[in-house]
Amino acid sequence: MYGAIEAPFAQPRAIILGHTISALIGVGITKLFLLLPPTEFNNYYWLAGSLACATASTVMAITKTIHPPSGGTALMAATSVEIRAMGWYYVPVVMLSSVLMIAVGLITNNMQRRYPMFWWTSAPLKTKRELEEEKAEKETTETAVERQISGDSVEKQEDALIVTLEGVVVPEFLRLSYDQRQVLDELQGKIREYYHDPEHLVSHSRSLSTERSLHR
């Protein structure tokens, strides 16, 4: 959290949820093992700690809240006598500790750097099917916009310099320097970013419809 602040594992979501999930799982598994007689538990507390750490790691991976130190949070719930005595009170203590760590990180890490990189997540949390459906819908929208642009644009000429979503077309007689070509590539990139934004796509489609109605 203080040495590798750009890592996804060091962001607030992973810290708070990772520690909370691990504390809940650690206390829950420990409570189950405490149903054994005290002498039996002393022989199997290592098993409780192993199961707690492994289960917490699995749940964090499924929920995409991996925070490596949280494995120790689950392990301590089973192996530490003091924490076992706390019981379920261990969970709010862990949550409060996580918030305090983030508060310190916000102060120290923003002096000369930027933290956090994101508050919630930078990775998609949706299912693979939902991501594929969104991708297909996005491609369909982009295709429709490209057709509108090509249909409304003037007829292409061989002596014209053209910047479109697909790329930059430079006529053969025109010789550009490296800096000039870089400017065109940056312009093409901005056009692509513009039409990849759903809000801009909607506004652009409305403006095209309005312009056509005015011409009619």
Q: Domain residues for 138?
A: 128-215
Residues 36 and 98 grouped into a single domain: yes
Residue 12 lies in a domain: yes
Element at 148 (helix H, strand E)? helix 128-152
User: Average pLDDT, stretch 129-153?
Assistant: 67
Per-residue CA distances from 83 to 21, 41, 93 (Å): 16, 15, 10
CA-angle at 121, arms to 186 and 204, nearest 5°: 40
Q: Which pLDDT belongs to residue 154?
A: 46
Residue 115 lies in a domain: no
Residue 188 lies in a domain: yes
Which pTM was predicted?
0.55
Q: How many domains does the chain have?
A: 2
Q: At what angle do helices 12-33 and 70-79 cross, to 10 degrees?
A: 20
User: Average pLDDT, stretch 130-145?
Assistant: 72
Q: Is the pLDDT of residue 20 over 70?
A: yes
Q: Is the pLDDT of residue 84 over 50?
A: yes
Among 55-59, 88-92, 118-122, where is mean pLDDT lowest?
118-122
| Dihedral angle, C-alpha 12, 16, 22, 27, nearest 10 ° | 170
Residue 113 lies in a domain: no
When pLDDT is cut at 50, 70 and 90, the band that residue 199 belongs to is low
- Model confidence over 46-59: pLDDT tens digits? 899 999 999 999 99
Q: Are 78 and 45 in contact (CB under 8 A)?
A: yes
CA-angle at 70, arms to 48 and 104, nearest 5°: 145
Q: Which amino acid is at 186?
A: E
Residue 114 lies in a domain: no
Q: Are 80 and 27 in contact (CB under 8 A)?
A: no
Residues 72 and 41 grouped into a single domain: yes
